[in-house]
Structure 1
Amino acid sequence: MRILVYGAGVLGSYLAHVLVRGGNDVTLLARGRRLAELQKDRLVIRHYFQMRTTVDKVKVIPELRAEDVYDLIFVVMKYSDFQAVLPTLAVNQSKHVVIVGNNASPGEMFDYLQMNSPAEKKVAFGFQASAGWREDGRMICIRGPKGQMTIGGLGEELSWRPVIDRAFVNAKYTVTYHSDMEEWLNSHMVLILPLNLISPATGGNLRQAAGSKKMLNLVVNALDEAHRVLETLGYTVVPAVQNQLTREKRKLFYVGLKIITGTPLGRILLSDKAVSEAEMVLLHQAFNRLKERAGIPTPNWDQLVSNAPQWQG
Structure 2
Amino acid sequence: MKILVYGAGVLGSYLAHTLMQAGNEVFMLARGERYEQLAQDGLVIQHYFQRKKTIDKINVVRSLEASDYYDIIFVVMQYHQFQSVLPVLAANVSENIALVGNNADAESMRDFLIKNSAIKKKVAFGFQISAGMRTDTGTVISIHGGGNVLAGELGGTMETFPVIKKAFGEKYKVTYQKNIDAWLKSHYIMILPMNSIYYLFNNDFKKVSKDKHALKRMIEATDEGFSILEGLGYTITPATQAKLFRQYKGVYYLAMKIYHKLPMSRVVQGTFDEMNGLYEAFDKMKTQTQYARPVWDTLQKEAMDKYHSQSQLPRDSKKSAGLL
Aligned to 2:259: 260
Tell me how far apart the structure 1 counterparts of residues 105 and 77 of structure 2 sit (CA, whole Å): 14
Tell me how far apart the structure 2 counterparts of residues 179 and 105 of structure 1 sit (CA, whole Å): 17
Deviations 1:220-252 (A, max 9, x none): 111110000000000000112321243111111
Which of 281, 286, 305 in structure 1 is aligned with 2:281? Answer: 286
Letter in 1 for 2:271: S
CA contact (8 A) 2:124 2:161 kept: no
Question: Is the aligned partner of 1:132 residue 2:132?
Answer: yes
- TM-score when scaled to structure 2? 0.91
Letter in 1 for 2:140: M
Distance 1:204 1:139, change over 3 A: closer
Structure 1: state its 5+ residue gaps. none
Tell me how far apart the structure 2 counterparts of residues 129 and 204 of structure 1 sit (CA, whole Å): 21
Letter in 1 for 2:79: Y
Tell me how far apart the structure 1 counterparts of residues 184 and 92 of structure 2 sit (CA, whole Å): 26
CA contact (8 A) 2:141 2:267 kept: no
Distance 1:203 1:96, change over 3 A: closer
Aligned to 2:293: 298
Aligned to 2:317: none
Aligned to 2:191: 192
How far is 1:110 from its partner? 0.4
Letter in 2 for 1:212: D
Question: Is the aligned partner of 1:36 residue 2:31?
Answer: no
Tell me how far apart the structure 2 counterparts of residues 307 and 268 of structure 1 sit (CA, whole Å): 25
CA contact (8 A) 1:245 1:252 kept: no
Deviations 1:24-72 (A, max 9, x none): 1111111111111111011111111111100111111100111111111
Count of residues in Structure 1 that have an aligned counterpart in Structure 2: 307
Secondary structure of the residue that 1:286 maps to in structure 2? Answer: helix
Secondary structure of the residue that 1:262 maps to in structure 2? Answer: coil
Aligned to 2:313: none
Distance 1:5 1:86, change over 3 A: same
How far is 1:268 from its partner? 4.1
Letter in 2 for 1:288: D
Among the aligned pairs, what percent are the same residue? 45
Aligned to 1:219: 218
Aligned to 1:151: 151
How far is 1:162 from its partner? 2.0
Tell me how far apart the structure 2 counterparts of residues 304 and 204 of structure 1 sit (CA, whole Å): 16
Aligned to 1:63: 63
CA contact (8 A) 2:129 2:149 kept: yes
CA contact (8 A) 2:133 2:267 kept: no
How far is 1:8 from its partner? 1.0
Secondary structure of the residue that 2:156 maps to in structure 1? Answer: coil
CA contact (8 A) 1:190 1:226 kept: yes
